[in-house]
Every structure is written in structure tokens, then in C-alpha cells.
Chain A
Amino acid sequence: MMFQKWKALAFSAIAAGLLGAAAPVQAQTQVNFTVAEYSSKTGPYFEEVAAAFEKQNPDIHINLQVVPWDTLLQRLTTDIAGGTAPDISIIGTRWLLDFAGQGIAEPVDAYLTPEFKSTFIDTFMAPSVIDGKIMGLPVAASARAMMVNMDLFDKAGVKPPTNWDEFYAAAKKLAAVPDTFAFGLQGKEIETDAYYYYSLWTHGGDILKADGTSGLDTPEALEAVKLYKTMIDEGLTQPSPTNYTREDVFNMFKQGKLGMIFTFPMLIPQIKAEAPDLHYQILPFPEGKAKATYGVTDTLMVFSSSKVKDAAWKFIEFAYKDEWRSKFDHGEGFLPVTKNVAAEPYYTTDPDIAGFAAGLPYAKFAPTIANWEEIADTTVRTMQQIYLGQVAPEEALKGAAAEINKIRGL
């Protein structure tokens, strides 16, 4: 592949040389595109899109850089600091405010035709709007839901819960099934805070109050964490949640050792491949005072430093055609961000995907605020202290709220 490209290049160079200076050498516009690697399918998918686009637009060349998620922010940071930022990049929407605030993201309102804009589902467009300007396009979306192991529920003789009281009662019964645990609770590393937000939101709380201060010092927040803490103390979760990352909890579920977990759609292809005999079901989060799910989006961002924004935008419009979006969402297991793909039968009739998509009307998003990563880390630390019993829940949440307000400068 690479070799052939070189050969072609060398050939055209020779040809150009033979024809002399008079021959117009076609100047290609180079567009640098940094792609976040969701799975092993991501790179080949975007190569295919780029190839199809270049065929139609021979004057534009797309340079793909596929970067793993773990190092993406670090990579972009070094690129920006070194003055070699790409023209477009996929980023986590939670970083968008930082990019916009530093003038690194280019507002796309001027490029976005009303027709193109109308293809997006509004819920997913909203997080990209900062100070009334659209700073990027949603590129991937997922929502969270509860997943239950029906075999264990049958053994325990209970029905899957719909609210937190039923959830707790079901856990009590599930705990009687030997060699298994009722509820898989994550307590280590990335997204330990998200596992708490599921409970926080459905109990009627929120990450931030209306006035912008932390919502962790509210009665709802306390109730939400006390439920988890009680379940740990009563042996309704796996022992020592602080030793279990998201993947550890999911793996236990695949082994049939957990009755209930909170998870994302990307787990379904894994279960189909690794534990095809598992009888699972996707359900909404237990309800408390409110219905909620956690919506997560990623954004396609144009860099303000780019000198080829028009060519880049041409590529973006191409990549958002239905056939490409459909292929991407299917391949990665995401929920569609465009209306046409969402209308596909697969997304409305498949019980797994429909289970996740059902929560979208009331999905909550991580707030787009500065220093979000630090605030999330404070929440993770607080949860771990509570789960370990180092600090009493009330005191820990008050401390966390004060710390978050300090980080926010309030």
C-alpha cells in the first residue's frame, strides 16, 4: 500500500520532470485529520471514507492520524504547543470548552448549512453549543443503561427492578444465589464517578446546581451514595469495589457472576463474542425521583489555526452522508447522532440497542465546564473514601462540594 503510493509518487515526479517546468503539477490540498481510535475498526473505516472522498476530490488529500484515546489529549496538547495542530480532530466533548476557551476551536456556524444542520439529533448537538456558537459536530454518541443477568433473576425468583426500592429488594434476593453477587459496583479508575452519577441523577440530584455550584452537598446526593454504601456493607455488591475497574466489573458480568450492572452499548458485541450463552436484558436505570441516563458524546472539531478549512469542511460533509454514518455506528456499536440513521429499523427494533436508545429523551450530559477532569477526579476520590469507609458520606460529600466550588472559582 505504502510502497505503491511511493511508486506512484516517484512515477509522477519523473513524468513531471520529463514534461518540464511547463507541465502544471497539480497542487493537492492536504487536510490533517486526527482520529480517536475507538476500536480496531476505526482506522480502516476512516481510511475507506478518505479513499472514497479522494476519488471524488482528487485535489484534496486526507492525512489520517489514528491515536488511541488514552494518549489523545496528551498528543493534541503537544501538537498545539508545538504549532503543528491538525486541521480537524475527534475529541471528547468534555474537552471542548477548554479548546473553545483558548481560541483553538473554530466555530462552524458559518459552514453549517441549515440543511446539513437539520440532519443531526438536537440532543446530541446541544453539548457542542458554547456561548450560542456551534464549536463542533457530534461524531459519536452512547447512552448508559442497566444490564441484568436473567438466569440469576430466575434462580432468585425475582423480577428485574424498575425503581430503587425494587432494586434494593431484588439485590437482597439475588445475594442468596451462591457464588454470585447481586450488584457490580465500580470503584476504581476512569468513570468511577459516572457510576455514582447514575444514582445521583435518578435520585433527583445533579452534578451542578442551578447557580453553578457543586450539587454534591444536597440531600439527593447523600441519599444516592448512602444506597451504594449500604449495599457494600450488606454484601450486596462484589467485595471491595475499590479494586474493580469498569472492565473488571463487566468481565465478572460476562462470567455470569453478577446480577446487575450499569453499562454502555459497546459491551453487547463483547458479550456476543465472549459469552454467547448469557441471558441478559437491557433496562432503564432504576427510577427514584427522576428518570435519567448518562449521554456521552464525542465531537468533531475544526482547528482555528487550520489554513484549509474549506477543504476540511468538504470532507466533513462527505463523511456525514448516511451510508458512512450508518457503517460507522454499526461497526463501533454507537447510537446514531443523525436522524436518518436513527430511523433505521435496527435502531428501533433491536432490543439491545433500543434499550439504550430509549433513555435518550431524558439523557443527561457531563456539564461543559472548565477543569472538568479535575472535578471528576475529586468526585472519584470522594466515592473511594466513602466506599472504603474512610470518611462518613455526609462529611465526604460536603468536603467534595467545597473543593469543587474552589476549583470552579466560586
Chain B
Amino acid sequence: MKSALRSTPLLMIVPSLLLAMFIIGYPIIDLAWTSLQEVSRFGQLRGFNGWDNFAEVFSDPLFYGSLWRTVIWTVAVVGGTLLLSLPIALILNDEFYGRGLARVIIMLPWAISLTMTAVVWRWGLNGRAGLLNATLMDLHLIAEPVEWLATAPMAFATEILIGILVSIPFTTTIFLGGLSSMPQDAYEASMVDGAKRWDQLRYLTLPLMRPFINIAIVLNVIYVFNSLPIIWVMTEGGPANGTDILVTYLYKLAFRFGQLGKASAISLIMFGVLLVFTIIYVVMVMRAEDDGGAAGEASK
């Protein structure tokens, strides 16, 4: 009787569990299935070819180049986003005149699709007709137009900056949520003990914010690692593949060159990398829940 009672909740979640497993699992299984086969130009499966697709991926110098740039891209965008979002969130958390407006302005880029943002920037960064060069020249900051997207290092750095810009709203929101759940009595107690604002930040806010920062890192890594629009719209991975990351390279392979087998192999490798991060995420949430308090709020 008792055991039947205990299994009732489990039984009740079985249908939704099965549905979730189907929705999440089916594409992955299909992908794995495809990655082990020879696939025609038009997506027709032509029988198993073992690990050929993977062997081809691992012998491709462009794959390693793209992998390395994916790491730079992810670390730089996520790192830059965190470094900027934390002070922004701290400022927006303070009471000041026009705070509501300031919050809206910070959040606005979120309302525009990533692709549109990238298209607008592509126009804005155009060497001869772009608004950015025109503005900088009017301000006499530069004498000659700068060709922002002409060389790979410059183009990649520009794309990283835009990546940071569009990631700030989401990250700031997480941090603002964290800051508003800070226990006020701790701050009052610290003031009684004579703590300065810097001490409060260093010894109270940052440690209490740790679970939020962790979550922001993991979620951003997943989004940024997989993000196609900015790079694809602005340079299509060029010039000379110098701004290709895994997801743009994969898109090119699949839909330009028709190498769907190789593309699904890369896709599966990317899934594996993200799986590791997801596991880290789960571990973090569980650890944070063990700590209780503020972190518990976040997972609600």
C-alpha cells in the first residue's frame, strides 16, 4: 500500500516525461543516426558508412580553426557580458531619478531580433556608407573611414562586441533579480559594524550573488556557443573563413555544400560539448539549493 502510494507521483509524471523524452530525444537520435550514414546532396540516406563522417571532420583543418574561434567567441562574449552587466545591474538597483527609463533603455535591445540587430550593424559598419564611420569622422576622431569588417581580426572583434551588447539585457535581468532578493538586514548589520560601500560589495554582495553569476555564465555559454545570426549576417564566416565558428561552418556545410552527413557529425560534437555544460549547470543548481537562501529563489 505504502509503496503504491509512493509510486503514484512517479506514475503521474510518466506521460509528460515520455513526451519530453520524445521531443528532446527524437532529434538527437535522428541526428546521431544521420551522422553515421552516407547522406546524398538532397538529404536522402544512402546507408551506413561507419565513422567516415567523423573521420572527415577530424581531418579538416577548418574544423579546428572554427573550434578554436568558437572557444574565443564564447569566452570573450560571455566574459565581457558578465564584466559589464554586473556594474550595470548594481547601478540600476540603486534608487535614482529616471531609473525606470534607464532600465527600459538597457532592456530595449532584447526586444529586437538578433538577425535584425546584425543587419543594422552590417549597414552601420559599412566602410564608405556606414553611419559609424560618418559619425566618427564628423567628430574628427578618425580622418579616414575604417573598414571594420575587411580583415578577420577586426571583424571578429567587432562581432564579439556586438555579441556582448545583445547579451547584456538578459544577464542584467538575472543580476537584478538576484540583487533584489538580497537580505536587507545583512546590509544594515554591516553598516552598524562600519562597513564601507566597497566592503559591502566585496564581502556581502559578490558572495551572495555567486549562484546568480554561475547561472548567468552557464546560460550565456549555451546561447552564445550556438549563436548563428550575428556572424552569419555580418561576414558569413569570412573573409577567408577568419570569423567562422562551428555553427556558421556547420550551416555552410549543410546548406551550401550539401554535406549533410559531415554537418550532422559536427552538430553532434557540438551537442556533446554543450551536454558537459548542462551537467555543470545541473550540478550548480543542486549545490546552490543545498546552500539554500538566495539561490533557492533563483531556481523558482
> Is the pair B239, A388 in contact by a Cβ cutoff of 8 Å?
yes
Confirm or deny: A4 has a beta carbon within 8 angstroms of a beta carbon on chain B. no
> Is the pair A243, B240 in contact by a Cβ cutoff of 8 Å?
no
> Is the pair B258, A243 in contact by a Cβ cutoff of 8 Å?
no
User: Smallest Cβ distance from A242 to chain B, in angstroms?
Assistant: 4
> Is the pair A251, B129 in contact by a Cβ cutoff of 8 Å?
yes
> Is the pair A244, B239 in contact by a Cβ cutoff of 8 Å?
no
Known: A78-B43, A81-B44. A188 touches B128 (CB 8 A): no
Known: A240-B147, A377-B256. A76 touches B42 (CB 8 A): yes
- The prevalent SS among residues of B at the interface is loop
User: Smallest Cβ distance from A354 to chain B, in angstroms?
Assistant: 32
Query: What residues on A are CB-neighbors of B103 within 8 Å?
Result: none
The complex places the Cα of A251 from the Cα of B44 at a distance, in Å, of 41
The complex places the Cα of A348 from the Cα of B152 at a distance, in Å, of 46
Confirm or deny: B102 has a beta carbon within 8 angstroms of a beta carbon on chain A. no
Residues from 115 to 161 in B contacting A, C-beta threshold 8 Å: 126-129, 145, 147-152
Confirm or deny: A336 has a beta carbon within 8 angstroms of a beta carbon on chain B. no
> Is the pair A77, B238 in contact by a Cβ cutoff of 8 Å?
no
Known: A80-B42, A102-B41, A187-B239. A239 touches B258 (CB 8 A): no
> Is the pair B41, A257 in contact by a Cβ cutoff of 8 Å?
no
Query: What residues on A are CB-neighbors of B240 within 8 Å?
Result: 242, 381-382, 384-385, 388, 390
With CB as the reference atom, state the residue of chain B lying closest to A181: B128
Confirm or deny: A189 has a beta carbon within 8 angstroms of a beta carbon on chain B. yes
Query: What residues on A are CB-neighbors of B227 within 8 Å?
Result: none
Confirm or deny: A278 has a beta carbon within 8 angstroms of a beta carbon on chain B. no
The complex places the Cα of A150 from the Cα of B124 at a distance, in Å, of 30
> Is the pair B42, A81 in contact by a Cβ cutoff of 8 Å?
yes
Binary CB contact string for chain B from 252 to 275 against chain A (1 if under 8 A, 0 otherwise): 100111110000000000000000
Question: Using a Cβ–Cβ cut-off of 8 Å, how many residues does chain B contribute to the interface with A?
Answer: 28
> Is the pair B147, A373 in contact by a Cβ cutoff of 8 Å?
no
> Is the pair B238, A242 in contact by a Cβ cutoff of 8 Å?
yes
> Is the pair A98, B258 in contact by a Cβ cutoff of 8 Å?
yes
Query: What residues on B are CB-neighbors of A275 within 8 Å?
Result: none
The complex places the Cα of A220 from the Cα of B235 at a distance, in Å, of 30
The complex places the Cα of A189 from the Cα of B155 at a distance, in Å, of 14
Which of B126, B238, B259 has the most chain A CB atoms inside 10 A of its CB? Answer: B238
Residues from 78 to 113 in B contacting A, C-beta threshold 8 Å: none
Query: What residues on B are CB-neighbors of A252 within 8 Å?
Result: 128
Residues from 178 to 233 in A contacting B, C-beta threshold 8 Å: 187-189
With CB as the reference atom, state the residue of chain B lying closest to A97: B41
The complex places the Cα of A251 from the Cα of B236 at a distance, in Å, of 20
Confirm or deny: A395 has a beta carbon within 8 angstroms of a beta carbon on chain B. no
Known: A102-B40, A189-B236, A384-B240. A377 touches B257 (CB 8 A): yes
Query: What residues on A are CB-neighbors of B145 within 8 Å?
Result: 239
The complex places the Cα of A386 from the Cα of B258 at a distance, in Å, of 27
With CB as the reference atom, state the residue of chain A lying closest to B256: A373
- B43's partner among A81, A239, A257, A384 (CB-CB below 8 A) is A81
User: Smallest Cβ distance from B44 to chain A, in angstroms?
Assistant: 6
With CB as the reference atom, state the residue of chain B lying closest to A76: B42
- A residues apposed to B, CB below 8 Å: 73-74, 76-78, 80-81, 98-99, 101-102, 104, 187-189, 238-244, 248, 251-252, 257, 371, 373-374, 377, 380-382, 384-385, 387-388, 390
25 A-B pairs with CB atoms under 8 Å apart are A73-B255, A76-B42, A77-B41, A80-B42, A80-B43, A81-B44, A98-B258, A99-B42, A101-B41, A102-B41, A239-B127, A239-B145, A240-B150, A242-B150, A242-B151, A242-B239, A242-B240, A243-B150, A248-B126, A374-B256, A380-B238, A381-B240, A382-B240, A388-B152, A388-B240
